[in-house]
Structure 1
Amino acid sequence: MSGIGPFPIQVVTVIAAVLLAWLTARIVGRRTPDVSYKAAGSMILDAVFWGLLTARLAYIAQWWEEYSATPRSMIAIGDGGFVWWVGVLVVVAYIWRRTRSAQILRVPVMAGVMVGVAAWALAGGVLALLLRAAPPLPDLQLATLDEHPVSLSEYAGRPIVLNLWASWCPPCRREMPVFEQAQTDFPDVAFVLVNQGESAQQAQAFLESEGLSLTDVLLDPASEAMRTMNSRGLPTTLFFDAQGRQVDMHLGEITMPSLKDKMLRRFDLSSGSGAEK
C-alpha cells in the first residue's frame, strides 16, 4: 500500500498518530478534575509543531552538504526527511517545561503523547510487515529508447532503484537531475527509469531538451508497471535489494538527501559505491 489518495502512507500514519494524541489528551483532560481539556489538546498541537520543526532541522543538518547544493529542497517535506527521535525528545521537553507551573496538565498531555507515539510505532511495524510481503521485482517486458525489447528481471542481482515517471509530470521532471547524479555516485546500483504511457519520441525529446544523460531509461507505453506495482501516482520510486525484494518505496518527488538516506539504510553498499556521506 503506497498511500491514501494523494498522500503517502507514512504521512497518513503521522497525521493519524497526532490526531489520536490530541483526542487522548482531551479525553483524559475531561476526566481529570480542574483541567481544561481544550488547553490539553492545544498543548499537544503546539508540541507537535515544535517537534516536527526540530526533527526537520536535524535532518537538514545531517544532510547539509546535499541540501546546501539545492536549497529549495529544504522545504520539500514530502520526502519524509525527519529525525524522529529528536522530534519526540523536543515534544516531551516542551510539554515538561510548559507544565512546570501547571503540573495538573502534565498527566493528560503526556498520556496523549504516549498514545500517539505508541500508535505511530505500531503503524510503522505494520507497514514494515506489509513491505516484506510486497511482491518481488516483476518480470515486465519493456523496451529501450531505441525500442529494443528488454526484461526488467535482467537488472536483478544488484540493488535497484526503480522510478516510474512521465514527461508531463512536473515533480517527475524536477527529480530527474537527482537520478542523473545518483547513477554517478552509486555505480553499483541500477537506476531504472520506466516511462509511463509515452512514446520513445516523447521521452527522448524531454531528455534532450533538459540535457539529461541517464543510462537506463525504459519505455512502458501501456503503463503496465503502475498497475503491477499498485502505484497511485507519478512519480513513484521503488527500492529493490539484490535479491529482488522490495525494501522501500517513495510516492512523489524525491530529493537527493532522501534518496541517499533510503539507499544507505536499505542497501548493503560498500564504501566504493558512493556509500560515504
Structure 2
Amino acid sequence: MLVLGPLVLPWAGVIVLAAWLAASTVHDRAGRRAGLPPGPHAWALALLALAAARLGFVLQYGREYASAPWAALDIRDGGWAAGWGLLAALLYVLALWLRRHPWRRPVALAAAVGAGLWLAGTGVLQLAQPALPAALPAWQGVALDARPVQLPALQGQPVVVNLWASWCPPCRREMPVLLRAQAEHPQVRFLWVNQGEAPETVIGFAAAHQLPQADVLLDTPSQLGALLGHRALPTTLFFNAQGELAAVRSGELSAATLAQHLALIAPAQALTKP
C-alpha cells in the first residue's frame, strides 16, 4: 500500500493509473504527429477494459453477487479479472484495424505501452513483496471471553485474521460479510483482531455487531499489525492449514473477494456451502 498521510492507496491501482497516463500521453502525441484531430480513444479504451475486467470478475462470482446485485458496482472490493480487460482492449484495437480507422496506429501503440507498463509494474510489485512468513506468527492475544489464543496453535485448519478498528468505516462495512462466511464455512477459523482500541470500546462494538466473543481478540498496542507489516485497516490475512500465509487483502472485502481469497487456503469442495 502507498501511504500518503491519511490517504492509503493500493499499489495495484497506482500502477494502473500510471500505465493509463503514459498510454494516454502516447495516444495524444502519436495522433498529433499523424495530423489527427483529438480523439476519445484513450478514455474509451480504458473504460472498456475496466468494465470488462469488472464484468469478468462479477460473472465468475455471480453467486456471491446474486443476493445484492448492486454490490457489483462497488469497485472498492478490488474484484477484477485482468484477462478480461486485456482481451477487451485487444478487441477494441482489432476493430479499429479491421475498419482501417485513421486512429488505429496511435491507439495500438498506446495500448501496447499501457499494457506493457502494467505488466512490468505488476511484475515489479510481485518481486518487491516481502517474503511471506512460513508459519503463523508467534503472537498471542486475549479473546473477549478472556481465553488466550495463540496463533501457532491454530495450525491444522485454515485461518482468516482480520485486522480492524471500530473507527474504520470499511472495517464496519465488511463485518457482515465475514460473519456470513464464518457461518457458512465452520472449518475455517475466523479471528477479528482489534488494533489499538481500549477493551471497553471493542466489547461494546462486538456486542452491537454480534461478533463472537471467542473470536474477537484484543491487541491494544497494535502489535500483530506491526509484526506482519500491515498497518492499513482493514487488512485480512489468509493462512492455509499448514500455517502458511497464502494471501493478504488490504482494503474492504465483499462476499465475492472473500470467496476468491478463501479458495486459496482450502480445497473447493471444503468451501462448499452446506
| TM bracket, shorter-chain basis | 0.7 to 0.9
Cα separation, partners in 2 of 1:239 and 1:132, compared to 1, 3 Å: farther
Q: What is the TM-score normalised by the length of structure 1?
A: 0.85
**Would the aligned equivalents of 1:138 and 1:152 in 2 still touch at CA under 8 Å?**
yes
Give the equivalent residue in structure 1 for 2:42: 44
Instruction: Give the count of matched residue pairs.
Output: 270
Distance 1:270 1:43 in 2: 41
Match of 2:132 among 124, 134, 159: 134
Q: What is the TM-score normalised by the length of structure 2?
A: 0.86
What is the Cα deviation at residue 165 of structure 1? 0.6
**Would the aligned equivalents of 1:44 and 1:109 in 2 still touch at CA under 8 Å?**
yes
**Would the aligned equivalents of 2:147 and 2:214 in 1 still touch at CA under 8 Å?**
no
Letter in 1 for 2:232: G
Q: Secondary structure at the match of 2:224?
A: helix
Distance 1:242 1:86 in 2: 32
CA-to-aligned-CA distance 1:89-109 (integer Å, 9 cap, x gap): 222223333465553421221
Cα separation, partners in 2 of 1:212 and 1:148, compared to 1, 3 Å: closer
Counterpart check, 1:218 vs 2:217: yes
Distance 2:127 2:272 in 1: 26
Distance 1:15 1:249 in 2: 22
Cα separation, partners in 2 of 1:101 and 1:72, compared to 1, 3 Å: closer
**Would the aligned equivalents of 2:192 and 2:216 in 1 still touch at CA under 8 Å?**
yes
Distance 1:227 1:233 in 2: 10
Counterpart check, 1:73 vs 2:76: no
Q: Secondary structure at the match of 1:103?
A: coil
**Would the aligned equivalents of 1:3 and 1:232 in 2 still touch at CA under 8 Å?**
no
> More deviation in 142-151 or 46-55?
142-151
Letter in 2 for 1:51: A
Cα separation, partners in 2 of 1:63 and 1:128, compared to 1, 3 Å: same
Structure 1 unmatched ranges of 5 or more: none
CA-to-aligned-CA distance 1:23-73 (integer Å, 9 cap, x gap): 23334445x44345x43xx41221111221132123222222211223442
Counterpart check, 1:195 vs 2:170: no
CA-to-aligned-CA distance 1:99-134 (integer Å, 9 cap, x gap): 655534212211221222222222223333344613
**Would the aligned equivalents of 1:131 and 1:248 in 2 still touch at CA under 8 Å?**
no
Cα separation, partners in 2 of 1:16 and 1:246, compared to 1, 3 Å: farther
Give the equivalent residue in structure 2 for 1:274: 271
Distance 1:162 1:185 in 2: 17
Cα separation, partners in 2 of 1:198 and 1:161, compared to 1, 3 Å: same
Match of 2:121 among 98, 118, 123: 123
Give the equivalent residue in structure 1 for 2:35: 34
Q: Secondary structure at the match of 1:193?
A: strand
Give the equivalent residue in structure 1 for 2:261: 262
Distance 1:71 1:215 in 2: 33
Distance 1:243 1:49 in 2: 41
**Would the aligned equivalents of 1:4 and 1:12 in 2 still touch at CA under 8 Å?**
no
Match of 2:26 among 20, 24, 27: 24
**Would the aligned equivalents of 2:237 and 2:248 in 1 still touch at CA under 8 Å?**
yes
Letter in 2 for 1:148: R
Give the equivalent residue in structure 2 for 1:238: 237
Distance 2:268 2:61 in 1: 19
What is the Cα deviation at residue 224 of structure 1? 1.1
Q: Secondary structure at the match of 2:221?
A: coil
Q: Secondary structure at the match of 2:103?
A: helix
Give the equivalent residue in structure 1 for 2:95: 97
Match of 2:9 among 7, 10, 13: 7
Cα separation, partners in 2 of 1:182 and 1:276, compared to 1, 3 Å: closer
**Would the aligned equivalents of 1:132 and 1:247 in 2 still touch at CA under 8 Å?**
no
* Same amino acid, percent of matched pairs: 35
* Shift >6 Å, 4+ stretches: none
Structure 2 unmatched ranges of 5 or more: none
What is the Cα deviation at residue 215 of structure 1? 4.9
Letter in 2 for 1:160: V
Distance 1:209 1:184 in 2: 18
